[in-house]
Amino acid sequence: MSVDLILSMKLRKKVILYNPKAVFFDMPLALLAVGSVLDEQRYEVIILDGRLEENVEDKLIENLDQALCFGVTVITGAPIKDALHISKFVKKHSQDLPIIWGGWHTSLFPLQPMHDNDCIDITVQGQGEYTFKELVHYLDAGLPLEEVQGISYRGEAGLVQNAGRPLQPIDDLEKVNYDLIDVEQYFRKKGRRQFDYISSIGCYFRCSFCADPFVYDRKFYAIDAIKMVEHLAYYKERYHFDDVNFQDETFFTYKNRISDFAKGLIDRKLDITWAATMRADQGERLTDPVWQLCKISGLRRLLIGVESGSQEMLDWMQKDIKLSQVFYCADKCEALGIAVIFPFIVGFPDESRDSVEATVAVIKELNSRSEHFDTPIFYFKPYPGSAITRQVQANGYRLPETTDEWGDFDYIGSSGPWVDDEKERFFEAFKFYLKLGFGRRQGVLFSLLRKLGQWRVMKNQFKLPIEKFLADRLWIKKQLS
C-alpha cells in the first residue's frame, strides 16, 4: 500500500450503519448491501448491530465526530422502537449529522417517520444500493438532494418526496463485503456456522397479504447462478461455514438458474448444505433431475408458504398456488429427505369456519407425512402495504397512525378482530400439541407425551391440558420479540 493510500484511508469519513434489536441473528444483509457499494478509500463503513453490541451508545460516541451520516435499517414492528431510541441519541449528540432510515418500513411510509420525529432527516424507498451510493456522494459534496431518486428528505420548506428509483439489476453489483461485520459473532449467536446470503430482489407474484408487490412493483432481479457459486466459494474459503441460508423471497423463480446453481455447487465440491424459500408452483415446475441436483448439492430445508388449507381462501388471497402443488412438493421432499417449513396463516378477515377447518386438516396431513415437516401457524396481521390491509382499512379498521404506534405493532400478540377468543384458544392448544406430538424432542418421557400429543391433534381433543400446564412451567420458554 502506498503512503498516499494509507494517508487517504486515515482521512476517510465514517458512515455508521445500525441494525436495530430484533429476534434471531440473521446477518444484517441490508446494511451489508448498502455499505458494500461505497468506495472503501473514501469511506469507512461501521456496522453496529443492536442484537450484538453490549453498549451501542459508547460505540457511537467513539465514532460520531468523524461521521458523514448515520443510517438505520427499519422493518415494521418492534425494531422501530430501538431505531427511534438510537436515532434520538445520535441526533442529541450530533445535531447536524444526517440521519437516514431505509428498509421496508420507509419504503411503505416515506414521510411519516420524518413527520413524527425530528431526529430523522432522510428516508430511502425500495432498493438501496444505487440510491445510497449516490446519496452519500451528494451529502459528502454538500449538494442539494432534489435530484437523488428513491429518497424523501427534510427540505427547507418541508418534507419532500423525490421520484422513485426503478428497480435495477443486481448482477452488476460488486460482491458484498462481509468483512464489515464480525461473521464469527453471528455464527456463535446462531449456534452454527450458517452464512446468510441473498441472491435476488423483489418478487413477480401478487399475494394480497404481502407488501412485496407494492414495494417492488412485481419486479424481480437475481444474480447469475455461476456468479453466485463463485461468491459462495470465495466466502466459504474466507469464513468457513457449512450451511447457507438464502433470504430471497422466492429463490426458485427460474428453474434453469437453480439447476445451474446446484450443478455449480457440485462441480466446485463446495460441500455445504443450504436452505431456501420455494413457492409450491415453482416446486411443481422443477423437473425430477433438478430436484435430485438440489438434494445432491446440499439442499436440506425448504420454506414453502401454504398460508391456507382452503383452495377458496388461497384463490381469494391471490396466492396463485394449488393445494395439489403443495402436496406434490411434500411428496418430493419426503422422498428426497428434505425438511420443509410450511407456514400457515389463520384469522384472515371474515375467514369462514370451513376454511379454518380445511387449514387444520392440511396441517394434520402434512405433519403425519414426515417428522421433518414443520407447520408454524401465524394469526393474520394486517401488515402495511398489502392489498388486504388496504381493504380492511377501507372497511374502517384502524391501523397505527404514528411511527411510535407502528413500533407496537408486533407480529406476536393481538391479531385484530378476526380471531375471536374461542378460535385463539383452539389454535393455542392446537399449536402446543402439534409441537408436542410432532416435535423432535427425544427421551422416554417425550416419546410418551408425543403419542398423547398426536392423539389429541388428530382428534381435536384439547380438554384438561395437563401436559400444557406442566410444559408452561417446566420447559417452554416464552419467545420474546
Among 82, 134, 249, 374, binds ligand B12 (CB under 6 A): 249
The residue number with the shortest CB distance to ligand B12 is: 128
How many residues bind ligand SF4 (CB under 6 A)? The answer is: 11
Among 101, 132, 187, 205, binds ligand SF4 (CB under 6 A): 205
Taking the complex as a whole, the smallest distance from the CB of residue 211 to ligand SF4 amounts, in Å, to 8
- Triad 227, 233, 235: Cα angle to 5°: 105
Q: Is 210 a binder of ligand SF4 (CB under 6 A)?
A: yes
Among 36, 112, 127, 194, binds ligand B12 (CB under 6 A): 127
Q: Is 279 a binder of ligand SF4 (CB under 6 A)?
A: yes
- Triad 249, 245, 345: Cα angle to 5°: 45
Distances (CA, A) of 444 to 362, 441, 450: 29, 10, 10
The CA distance from 7 to 27, in Å, is: 31
Do 436 and 449 form a contact (C-beta atoms < 8 A)? Answer: yes
Q: Is 278 a binder of ligand B12 (CB under 6 A)?
A: no
| Backbone angles phi and psi of 125, in degrees to 5 | -110, 130
Q: Which is nearer to ligand SF4, 203 or 272 (CB)?
A: 203
Give me the helices (H) in 146-301, please. Answer: 183-190, 212-216, 225-239, 255-267, 280-285, 288-297
Among 250, 253, 355, 359, binds ligand SF4 (CB under 6 A): 250
> Which listed range, 29-37, 200-208, 234-242, 359-367, lies at the site for ligand SF4 (CB under 6 A)?
200-208
Q: Which is nearer to ligand SF4, 97 or 207 (CB)?
A: 207
Taking the complex as a whole, the smallest distance from the CB of residue 285 to ligand B12 amounts, in Å, to 21
Distances (CA, A) of 240 to 22, 311, 422: 26, 44, 49
207 binds, options ligand SF4, ligand B12, none, Cβ within 5 to 8 A by partner type: ligand SF4
Q: Which residues, in sequence order, are CB contacts of 256 under 8 Å at separation 6+?
A: 225
Among 83, 211, 262, 286, binds ligand B12 (CB under 6 A): 211
Q: Which is nearer to ligand SF4, 320 or 408 (CB)?
A: 320
Do 146 and 122 form a contact (C-beta atoms < 8 A)? Answer: no
Count of residues for the chain? 481
3-state secondary structure of 103: coil
> Which listed range, 17-25, 185-193, 223-231, 300-308, lies at the site for ligand B12 (CB under 6 A)?
17-25
Q: Is 278 a binder of ligand SF4 (CB under 6 A)?
A: no
Footprint of ligand B12 on 381-410 (CB under 6 A): 383-384, 410
Q: Which is nearer to ligand B12, 151 or 333 (CB)?
A: 151
Distance from the Cα of residue 120 to its chain's centroid: 23
Which stretches does DSSP call E strand in 281-359?
Answer: 299-303, 339-341, 344-346
Q: Which residues, in sequence order, are CB contacts of 75 under 8 Å at separation 6+?
A: 22, 103, 104, 105
> Which listed range, 77-85, 292-300, 315-323, 431-439, lies at the site for ligand B12 (CB under 6 A)?
77-85
Q: Which residues, in sequence order, are CB contacts of 310 under 8 Å at separation 6+?
A: 354, 355, 358, 359
Bridge partners, 301 (sequence order): 275, 339
Give me the helices (H) in 401-443, please. Answer: 403-407, 421-438
> Which listed range, 128-136, 294-302, 333-341, 446-454, lies at the site for ligand B12 (CB under 6 A)?
128-136
Among 212, 260, 281, 351, binds ligand SF4 (CB under 6 A): 212
Among 38, 60, 79, 197, binds ligand B12 (CB under 6 A): 79
Query: Which of 416, 405, 412, 406 shows the shortest CA–CA distance to 382?
Result: 416
> Which listed range, 127-135, 202-210, 236-244, 443-451, lies at the site for ligand SF4 (CB under 6 A)?
202-210
Footprint of ligand SF4 on 35-54 (CB under 6 A): none
> Which listed range, 206-214, 325-333, 352-360, 422-430, lies at the site for ligand SF4 (CB under 6 A)?
206-214
Bridge partners, 277 (sequence order): 303
Binding site for ligand B12 (CB under 6 A): 19, 22-24, 26, 28-30, 33-34, 71, 73, 75-79, 100, 102-105, 108, 124, 127-129, 132, 198, 210-212, 247-249, 383-384, 410-411, 481
Site residues (vs ligand SF4, CB under 6 A): 203, 205-207, 210, 212-213, 249-250, 279, 305
